[in-house]
C-alpha cells in the first residue's frame, strides 16, 4: 500500500506536458511521419488584468463600433478589409483567406537544408516543440533528426500558423526537434543602418585587460533565475497585500542615475575592488584614442 501511495504522489508531482495545439505531418521527400507541436513558451504565470467599472466592480465588455454610424457591429457582420483608398476597402471573407496556401496547413515539407550558423539570431521568432505523434512514425522522425545533427544542418519549410503562412526552421535538439517560426524579410531591419556610424577606436590594452578581468569575475553558468521578472513579483506582493486588506508597500524610490564616467581606468579599478597604485595617476585620458 505504501508503495502504491508513494507512486501516486510521484505521479502527481511530475509536471504534465501541455497539450499539442497542432497535429500534422513531417515530410522529407517520400519519408513522412505524423507529428504534434506545442509552444515552447508559456505565459501561464504572467499576471493579467481585467478592466472593471470602478462604481460597480463589474467587468467591462469590449465591442466593435461602426466608425460612421457609431452602432455596435454583430460578430457575423465583421469582415476583413484591405484598404485601396480613402474609406475604400476590398472585403475578404474567412473562406477566401483560409484557401491560401492550403498545402502547408498540415504538412511540414522540408524543401531546403542550410547550415544552422548561416541563420542569424534576429530571424528567430517563436519556438515550438515538435514531437512524433505515434510509435510507427518515431523511426522516420529520428532519422530526420539525427541526419540534421550529423550534418550540422537545419531544415527550412513553410507552414500555416496563427492564420498566416510562415517560413519555419527545424532544429534538432537532444531527442526532439525545435520548430522556430522565422520573421518575414520586411520585419528585420538592416543592422548597418545603426552600426556603421559607430567609429572604430584603437583601444588601450590595459583597459581591455581590466574589462576582461571584470567579465571573468562576473561569469556564471546560465540559470533561468537570471531572467526572472521583478515587476511581476512586486505586483504579486501588492495583490496579496490588498487581498488581505493590508496597505501595499510603497513603490521603490527612483534609482539614482549613474554619473558620467570621467576616467575609465579608475572606474574599472574600483569595479574590481582595487585602487590606483598612486594618488597622482597619469591615466587621465577619458576616451580611447582614435585610429
Q: What is the pLDDT of residues 101-144, one digit of tens each?
A: 455 678 999 999 999 999 999 999 999 999 999 888 899 999 99
Distance CA 205, CA 202 (A): 9
Q: Determine what percent of the chain is predicted with pLDDT higher than 70.
A: 76
Q: In 3-state terms, what secondary structure has residue 160?
A: strand
E strand or H helix that includes residue 165: strand 164-173
Task: For residue 236, name the pLDDT band (cuts at 50, 70, 90).
Answer: confident
Distance CA 63, CA 161 (A): 26
Cell matching residue 224: 533561468
What does residue 75 show for φ and ψ, rounded to 5 degrees? -55, -40
CA 108 to chain centre: 22
Distance CA 123, CA 168 (A): 10
Q: What is the mean pLDDT of the chain?
A: 79
pLDDT > 60? residue 286: no
Other CB atoms closer than 10 Å to residue 213's CB: what's the count?
14
Name 101's Cβ contacts closer than 8 Å, sequence gap at least 6: 158, 160, 165
The stretch 60-75 carries a mean pLDDT of 89
Burial category of 155 from C-beta neighbours within 10 Å (exposed 0-12, middle 13-18, buried 19 and up): buried
Residue 261 is predicted with a pLDDT of 54
Task: For residue 252, name the pLDDT band (cuts at 50, 70, 90).
Answer: low
pLDDT > 60? residue 287: no
pLDDT > 80? residue 18: no
**Assigned CATH topology for domain 22-42+91-182:** Ku70; Chain: A; Domain 2 (2.40.290)
The stretch 74-96 carries a mean pLDDT of 86
Amino acid at each position: 500500500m505504501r508503495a502504491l501511495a508513494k507512486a501516486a504522489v510521484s505521479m502527481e508531482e511530475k509536471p504534465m506536458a501541455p497539450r499539442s495545439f497542432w497535429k500534422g505531418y513531417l515530410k522529407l521527400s517520400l519519408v513522412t511521419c505524423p507529428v504534434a507541436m506545442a509552444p515552447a513558451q508559456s505565459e501561464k504565470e504572467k499576471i493579467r488584468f481585467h478592466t472593471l467599472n470602478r462604481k460597480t466592480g463589474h467587468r467591462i465588455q469590449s465591442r466593435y463600433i461602426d466608425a460612421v454610424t457609431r452602432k455596435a457591429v454583430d460578430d457575423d457582420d465583421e469582415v476583413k478589409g484591405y484598404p485601396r483608398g480613402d474609406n475604400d476597402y476590398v472585403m475578404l471573407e474567412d473562406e477566401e483567406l483560409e484557401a491560401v496556401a492550403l498545402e502547408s496547413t498540415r504538412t511540414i515539407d522540408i524543401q531546403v537544408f542550410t547550415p544552422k550558423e548561416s541563420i542569424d539570431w534576429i530571424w528567430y521568432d517563436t519556438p515550438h516543440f515538435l514531437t512524433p505523434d505515434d510509435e510507427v512514425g518515431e523511426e522516420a522522425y529520428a532519422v530526420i533528426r539525427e541526419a540534421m545533427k550529423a550534418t550540422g544542418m537545419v531544415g527550412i519549410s513553410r507552414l500555416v500558423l496563427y492564420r498566416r503562412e510562415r517560413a519555419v526552421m527545424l532544429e534538432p535538439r537532444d531527442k526532439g526537434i525545435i520548430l522556430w517560426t522565422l520573421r518575414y524579410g520586411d520585419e528585420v531591419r538592416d543592422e548597418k543602418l545603426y552600426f556603421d556610424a559607430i567609429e572604430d577606436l584603437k583601444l588601450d590594452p590595459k583597459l581591455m585587460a581590466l574589462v576582461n578581468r571584470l567579465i571573468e569575475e562576473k561569469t556564471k553558468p546560465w540559470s533561468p533565475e537570471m531572467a526572472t521578472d521583478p515587476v511581476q513579483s512586486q505586483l504579486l506582493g501588492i495583490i496579496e497585500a490588498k487581498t488581505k486588506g493590508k496597505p501595499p508597500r510603497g513603490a521603490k524610490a527612483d534609482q539614482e542615475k549613474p554619473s558620467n564616467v570621467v576616467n575609465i581606468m579608475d572606474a574599472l579599478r574600483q569595479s574590481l575592488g582595487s585602487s590606483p597604485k598612486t594618488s597622482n595617476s597619469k591615466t587621465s585620458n577619458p576616451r580611447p584614442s582614435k585610429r
